[in-house]
Structures are given as C-alpha cells and as structure tokens.
C-alpha cells in the first residue's frame, strides 16, 4: 500500500459518497437496495482489509494517520487516526450497518433509496467520530450523525415518531452544545498559553487547566456524552427513540451510535481533563451502578419487547461506564470489549425483536408464547442472544462484563458490588422475556414464518462472532492493548 494514499479518507467517506449515489437511484428501489448493500459490504471489506494488513502501531498507538490543514486561520486540521480501539469500533460499525441493511431488507417500502442513503450517511458520521483526532472535526461528525438519524426516526418510524425524533435530537443536541463550549474554552485556553491556536487532540492534551475550570469543562463533556451514552438520569430519550425508530435504525442506534459516547469519553474527555475526570469518577460510578440496576429493574416491568431491550441497553451501557470510570487497564479493556459485545448482542436482540414485530406487527410480549415449537430457528437465535446478553460464560458478553467487574473491583469494590447485583437482575428480565416469547402457550394464535435463509445466515454470522468473542477474545484484546496501555499510563 502506498503510504501516501489517503486510505482513511476513503474509509470515512465511502459510505457517504455511496449513500449519495444510492439517493440518486430513487426511481428504482430494488437497485438502490442492492447498491446500498454493496457499498456497505465494500466498507466492511475495506475495514477488514485494513485490520488484517495494519502495519505495526507506532509509539503513539496509531497505525494509520492522516493530517492535512483545513481551516488554518483557526488552527483546524483534518486529522484522522486509527489505533486499535478505533479499528475495532470501525469494524463493528461497518458490520452492524450491513447487518441492519440485510435483516431489514424489505422493512421500508417508501422512499427506499433515501432510507438507505441516510443509513449510509449515518455510518459516515459515526466513523468520523471514531477516526477524528481534531476536536473540531470530531464535533462536526458528532453533530452530523444526528441529522440522518433524526430523519430515519422521523420519516420511517412508527408510533409517536416525530415526538421521539425531536426528543432524541433535542436531548443530544443540547448536550452537545455544552460540549462545544467546553471545546472552545479549551482551545482558547491552550492558545493563550502556547500562542498557537489549535484544535488538535495531541496539542490540547498539554493544556494546563485550572482545577475548577477543569471541573466545569469535564461536566460539560460528561453531560453531552452522558446523554448519548446514556447515563441514567439522562436516558429519557432512549426508550422512545429506540421504540419508535424503524428496526434497522434501532439496531444502528443501539449497536453503534451509543458507542460513540463511550469512545469519546475514552478518547477525548479523560485524556484532555485527567484531573477533573478523576474528581468526577465517583459521579460516574454512581450513575453507572444506578444505571445497571435501574435499567434492569425497569426492563423487568416492560411488556413491549422493544422497550424492554431498550432499557436492558441502558443497563448494559452502565457496565461500560463503570469500566471507563475505573480507568484501570483491565477494566478499560473490558469496557472497550463490552462496547463491541454490546453492539453485537443488543444489536442482535433488537434484530430479533424487530423481526418478530415485522412478522406480526405486534410488540407486546404477552401476546406471544410457545414460539419454540413453532419457529425453532428463530427461537434458537432468540434464546442464544438473550443468554449472551445475560452474560452466560462462553458467550461474548461474559468476557467483557467479567473484565469490567474484576477490573473495577480492584479500584472501587463498592461500585463493583452494586454492579454485581445487576447481574442477577439482568437474568431476571432476560428469562422473563424468553419465557414470554418462547415458552408457554400463545394467548392468541400468531402465525409466523420461520427465518429465511438470508436471515438465518446473517444471524448465524452474529452468533458465530458472539461465540468467537466469548471463547477467544484475544484478537480484540490484543488490538486494544497498546492504546489502553498508553491511555492509562498517561
């Protein structure tokens, strides 16, 4: 590979350009679908190729890097970089997008081309967050990914779709504005100290931030990221947005969009403001533990399947927050791994729930029952992903949760103990859902078709990854080892 070739830019903008071309095919939905899938697959292939052929990481941990001046007057640069953490998440993003497209191939009947175009545009937005190393660029992508998502929910959603879309947008947007203020303050502070105004992460980490100011800045970051995470008191948008968006949108939202916040916390907020982050750690612990327990508890009360999985997602994200807050190598590895696992598992759960809802147009779990005998393949996958989500050892979630818990227990046993409680509660709602759907006799006759070959194959790929990461997570752990070592030693 020619080292000067802007491969990261290609990776980043391939979905967007592809999406725009898809949008041009609006006269012909079938072609648009195929073309969109092709773009998604190409992106995934490119990511995989980068992952497999990645040169050794340099001392900064980045093995691909691109830096061009953009708006020099304000010290804004177009800086992209890929280290192990980014690579893992990029792969996840490309994979989940393809999955979402494949499994909800026919879900949307109107304005198909636009729908797929927006999905691809969201992908670019998310990839941008994972790849940017310039805070301005990061913020740009951070906001940019909201817009296609907003339309996905607002146009193709169901239920109170506009309410949910606006709520989602306002929640995240207001939080982000605070983060923008924090970024600008950092920028000015750094400029005043060194005389060179720059948005580059590598520069800004050297800013000397007074303690109190740092607290305010970190609070702004935390608020913005906490909304998207979501940390518990800020999760109000999530159940509505997850429930009312089209199934593919939900998968993207839960599977990858939520990870951007965790990633930003790891990549930007903590390194930029280490002291303040340390001061805020108890707050994050509390939010995370409350999130784990509260999410699981509220999930138990849900009878709307999608809403149940949505709250379970709150609970699972609590583990990630916990791992980040602990900021120890083991816990952080667990958190990053759990980001991937959560993407796979919760994504798959939303897929399953979405497929059921697509077949029967009913999301009320109490209306189902006895599916085990009727649709064995679907039931098998349903059970599989639910058990993965409940943290059955040997499947992916267990490894992540275990690392997080063990790593956290070392530094904060109290917080970890609260999270342990969550393990029990997780099982309680999972088993309830499984029982409602798979066991018993149906309270009303539901006619269902079992999975098609396309669906089975796609879900099988998810399941294989689930097992693989549960049995042999070493590839991911090796990838993220260097960056995490760098982050936690700094």
Partner 1 sequence: MTTYLSLMLLIPLFGGVLNALVGRNLPRRLAESLACAAVWGSFVCAVLAALAYHGPEKVVVAQWFQAFDLALPLSLYLDPLSLSLCLMICFVCGLIHLYSVFYMAAEADYARFFALLNLFVFAMLSLVLAENLVLLYLGWEGVGFCSYLLIGFWYTEKENADAGRKAFITTRIGDTALMVALAWLFQLFGTLSITQLNGMGFLLPAGIVTALGLLMLAGAIGKSAQLPLMVWLPDAMAGPTPVSAMIHAATMVTAGVYLLARMYPLIGSSTVTTSAIAIVGGLTAFYGASCALAQRDLKRVLAFSTISQIGYMMLGVGAGAITAATFHLLVHAFFKALLFLGAGCVITAMHHEQDIFRMGGLRRTLPITFWCFLAGAACLAGLPLTGGFFSKDSILTALWMKGTALTQALYFLGLLTALITAFYSFRMVYLVFFGSNAHQQGHHEQSDVLPMELVLIPLALLGLFGGVLDLPGYLGGGFLGSFLGPLSGAHPVEASHTEELALQGVAATLALAGVFAAHVRYGGAARDNRLQESLLKPAPLVAFLLNGWYFDALYRALLIRPYQALSRVLWQQVDEGVINGGIDRLADGVGSTGSWLGRWTTGQVAVYLLSFAAGGALLLGYLAWRSL
State which H helix or E strand residue 371 sits in. helix 371-374
Sequence length of the chain is 490
Q: Show the DSSP H helices in 245-304 as ranges.
A: 247-252, 258-264, 270-272, 274-301
Restricting to residues 420-449, which ones interact with partner 1 according to CB under 8 A? 420-421, 423-424, 427-428, 431-432, 435, 438-441
Looking at the Cβ atoms of 197 and 300, the one nearer to partner 1 is 300
For the chain, what is the radius of gyration of the CA atoms? Answer: 21
Q: Is 223 one of the binding residues for partner 1 (CB under 8 A)? A: no
Looking at the Cβ atoms of 167 and 267, the one nearer to partner 1 is 167
Q: How far is CA 89 from CA 336, 342, 385, 469, in A?
A: 9, 11, 20, 14
Looking at the Cβ atoms of 113 and 321, the one nearer to partner 1 is 321
Q: Are 237 and 174 in contact (CB under 8 A)?
A: no
**Could you tell me the smallest distance in angstroms from the CB atom of residue 411 to partner 1?**
9
Q: Are 344 and 304 in contact (CB under 8 A)?
A: no
Q: Is 294 one of the binding residues for partner 1 (CB under 8 A)? A: yes
Q: What share of the chain is helix, strand, coil (3-state, %, to 5)?
A: 80, 5, 20
Restricting to residues 310-339, which ones interact with partner 1 according to CB under 8 A? 329-330, 333-334, 337
Q: Is 160 one of the binding residues for partner 1 (CB under 8 A)? A: no
Q: How far apart are CA 280 and CA 160, in angstroms?
A: 36
Range in contact with partner 1 (rule: CB under 8 A) among 31-39, 50-58, 104-112, 400-408: 400-408
Q: How many residues bind partner 1 (CB under 8 A)?
A: 60
Looking at the Cβ atoms of 192 and 424, the one nearer to partner 1 is 424
Looking at the Cβ atoms of 54 and 431, the one nearer to partner 1 is 431
Q: Is 410 one of the binding residues for partner 1 (CB under 8 A)? A: yes
**Could you tell me the smallest distance in angstroms from the CB atom of residue 107 to partner 1?**
27
**Could you tell me the smallest distance in angstroms from the CB atom of residue 59 to partner 1?**
19
Q: Is 402 one of the binding residues for partner 1 (CB under 8 A)? A: yes
Q: Which of 51, 159, 236, 271 binds partner 1 (CB under 8 A)?
A: 236
Looking at the Cβ atoms of 195 and 413, the one nearer to partner 1 is 413
Looking at the Cβ atoms of 34 and 300, the one nearer to partner 1 is 300
CA angle 462, 245, 354 (to 5 degrees): 40
Looking at the Cβ atoms of 82 and 405, the one nearer to partner 1 is 405
Q: Is 57 one of the binding residues for partner 1 (CB under 8 A)? A: no
Place of tokens 């079992």: 450
Q: How far is CA 478 from CA 83, 265, 467, in A?
A: 12, 21, 18
Looking at the Cβ atoms of 189 and 266, the one nearer to partner 1 is 266
**Per-residue tokens: 26:** 């609006």
Give the x/- contact pattern for partner 1 in 458-487, rule: CB under 8 A. -------------xxxx--x---x---x--
Q: How far is CA 461 from CA 31, 88, 406, 479, in A?
A: 25, 17, 29, 21
**Per-residue tokens: 304:** 């709307």
Q: Looking at 364-478, which runs of residues are DSSP E strands? A: none
Q: How far apart are CA 330 and CA 323, in angstroms?
A: 8
State which H helix or E strand residue 64 sits in. strand 62-71
Range in contact with partner 1 (rule: CB under 8 A) among 13-21, 56-64, 100-108, 366-374: 366-374
Residues that bind partner 1 (CB under 8 A): 167, 170-171, 233, 235-236, 239-240, 294, 297-298, 300-302, 329-330, 333-334, 337, 370, 372-373, 376, 380, 387, 392-394, 398-399, 402-403, 405-407, 409-410, 413, 416-417, 420-421, 423-424, 427-428, 431-432, 435, 438-441, 471-474, 477, 481, 485
């Amino acid at each position: 590979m020619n080292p000067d070739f802007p491969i990261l830019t290609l990776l980043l903008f391939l979905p967007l350009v592809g999406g725009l071309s898809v949008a041009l095919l609006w006269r012909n939905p079938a072609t648009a679908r195929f073309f969109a899938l092709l773009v998604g697959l190409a992106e995934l292939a490119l990511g995989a190729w980068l992952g497999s052929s990645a040169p050794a990481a340099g001392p900064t941990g980045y093995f691909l890097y691109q830096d061009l001046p953009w708006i020099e007057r304000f010290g804004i640069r177009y800086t992209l970089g890929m280290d192990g953490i980014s690579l893992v998440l990029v792969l996840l993003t490309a994979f989940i997008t393809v999955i979402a497209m494949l499994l909800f191939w026919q879900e949307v009947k109107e304005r198909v081309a636009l729908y797929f175009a927006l999905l691809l545009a969201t992908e670019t937005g998310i990839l941008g967050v994972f790849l940017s190393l310039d805070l301005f660029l990061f913020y740009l992508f951070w906001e940019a990914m909201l817009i296609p998502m907003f339309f996905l929910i607002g146009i193709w959603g169901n239920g109170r779709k506009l309410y949910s879309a606006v709520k989602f947008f306002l929640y995240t947007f207001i939080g982000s504005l605070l983060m923008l203020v924090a970024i600008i303050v950092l920028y000015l502070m750094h400029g005043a100290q060194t005389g060179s105004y720059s948005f580059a992460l590598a520069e800004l980490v050297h800013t000397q931030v007074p303690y109190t100011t740092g607290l305010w800045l970190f609070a702004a970051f935390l608020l913005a990221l906490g909304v998207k995470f979501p940390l518990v008191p800020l999760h109000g948008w999530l159940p509505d947005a997850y429930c009312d968006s089209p199934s593919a949108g939900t998968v993207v939202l839960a599977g990858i969009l939520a990870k951007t916040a965790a990633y930003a916390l790891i990549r930007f907020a903590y390194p930029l403001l280490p002291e303040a982050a340390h001061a805020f750690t108890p707050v994050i612990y509390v939010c995370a533990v409350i999130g784990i327990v509260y999410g699981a508890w509220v999930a138990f009360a849900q009878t709307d399947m999608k809403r149940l999985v949505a709250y379970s997602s709150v609970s699972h994200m609590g583990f990630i927050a916990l791992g980040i807050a602990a900021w120890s190598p083991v816990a952080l590895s667990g958190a990053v791994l759990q980001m991937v696992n959560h993407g796979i598992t919760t994504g798959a759960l939303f897929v399953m729930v979405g497929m059921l809802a697509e077949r029967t147009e009913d999301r009320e779990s109490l209306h189902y029952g006895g599916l085990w005998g009727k649709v064995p393949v679907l039931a098998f996958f349903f059970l599989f992903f639910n058990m993965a989500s409940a943290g059955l050892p040997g499947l992916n979630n267990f490894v992540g949760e275990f690392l997080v818990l063990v790593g956290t227990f070392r530094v904060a046993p109290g917080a970890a103990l609260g999270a342990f409680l969550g393990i029990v509660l997780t099982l309680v709602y999972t088993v309830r859902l499984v029982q409602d759907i798979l066991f018993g006799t149906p309270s009303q006759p539901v006619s269902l078709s079992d999975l098609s070959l396309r669906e089975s194959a796609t879900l099988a790929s998810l399941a294989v990854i689930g097992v693989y990461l549960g049995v042999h997570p070493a590839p991911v752990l090796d990838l993220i080892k260097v960056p995490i070592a760098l982050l936690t030693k700094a």
